[in-house]
A = this chain, B = another copy of it.
Amino acid sequence: MDTSFTEENYLKAIYHLSADESKQVNTNQIAMVLNTKAASVTDMLKKLSGKNLINYERYQGVELTDSGKQIALKIIRKHRLWEYFLVEKLAFGWDEVHDLAEQLEHIQSPELVDRMDKFLGFPKYDPHGDPIPDQSGTIKCVEMKSVAALNAGDAGIISGIKEHSSSFLQYLEKMDLKIGKKILVEEVIPFDETVILRTENGGKINISKAAAKHILINYEQL
């Protein structure tokens, strides 16, 4: 039972959608993220259901089966390893690698993935701070908190973001807020909840509440 390029994209989309928004994923959501039409999604859902990769009942939304989830995690593993490679070895910016990884994640060769993993030194997080699933598809579940939820005095390492638009990525670049950077919350201004961060070299960075919401801090990587 082989999965096509397109099937893999659907499985990945469903995985991400069901991680974000609770449980059942609906047709329109999928159509949205895959840039396609609801009718096409329905066709594919029937097909994936026939292969037992999703549980699907007409009009009732959809969720991945265990084997569907396994496949999705394999794709995500590949995606994140490739992103790591592109940034660490080929010096791409972390905001430029997504589309390329989207192509590379479909290369079929378990051998390649594992060798790449070794070559890269078994990285645990991709350049956006998202955890890289291991060979068996296990994903390291880390507790991340949004910066907006921190209080003065809290500290941690920037480890992820909730928004992947290139405008936001460029904003982070400008503000010099990179994944892996250690920060301390110096103050939260009560008026508009602007957060004042202090970095290791003593610099101060002010960010709006809107931005703070989308930046995640990790306690695990310390």
Binding site for B on A (CB under 8 A): 86, 89-92, 100, 103-104, 107-109, 111-112, 115-116, 119
| Least CB separation from A106: chain B residue | B103
CA distance A116 to B92 in the complex (A): 11
B100 contacts A109, C-beta separation under 8 Å: yes
CA distance A86 to B116 in the complex (A): 9
Q: With a CB–CB cut-off of 8 A, which chain B residues contact A108? A: 103
Q: Of B91, B100, B115, which contacts A90 at CB under 8 A?
A: B115
| Least CB separation from A115: chain B residue | B90
B100 contacts A107, C-beta separation under 8 Å: yes
Q: List 8 A-B contacts (CB under 8 A).
A: A86-B112, A90-B119, A91-B115, A100-B107, A100-B109, A100-B112, A103-B108, A103-B109
The complex is assembled from copies of this chain, and their number is 2
Q: How far is the CB of A149 from chain B (nearest CB, A)?
A: 38
Q: How far is the CB of A4 from chain B (nearest CB, A)?
A: 13
Q: With a CB–CB cut-off of 8 A, which chain B residues contact A119? A: 89-90
CA distance A18 to B86 in the complex (A): 35
B107 contacts A92, C-beta separation under 8 Å: no
| Least CB separation from A96: chain B residue | B111
Q: With a CB–CB cut-off of 8 A, which chain B residues contact A104? A: 107
Q: With a CB–CB cut-off of 8 A, which chain B residues contact A116? A: 90
| Least CB separation from A92: chain B residue | B115
CA distance A92 to B119 in the complex (A): 12
CA distance A174 to B84 in the complex (A): 36
CA distance A107 to B100 in the complex (A): 8
| Least CB separation from A114: chain B residue | B90
Q: With a CB–CB cut-off of 8 A, which chain B residues contact A112? A: 86, 90, 100
A90-B112, A92-B111, A92-B115 given. 7 additional CB < 8 A pairs? A86-B112, A89-B119, A90-B115, A90-B119, A100-B109, A103-B109, A104-B107
Minimum-distance CB pairs A-B, first 3: A90-B115, A103-B107, A100-B109
| Least CB separation from A107: chain B residue | B103
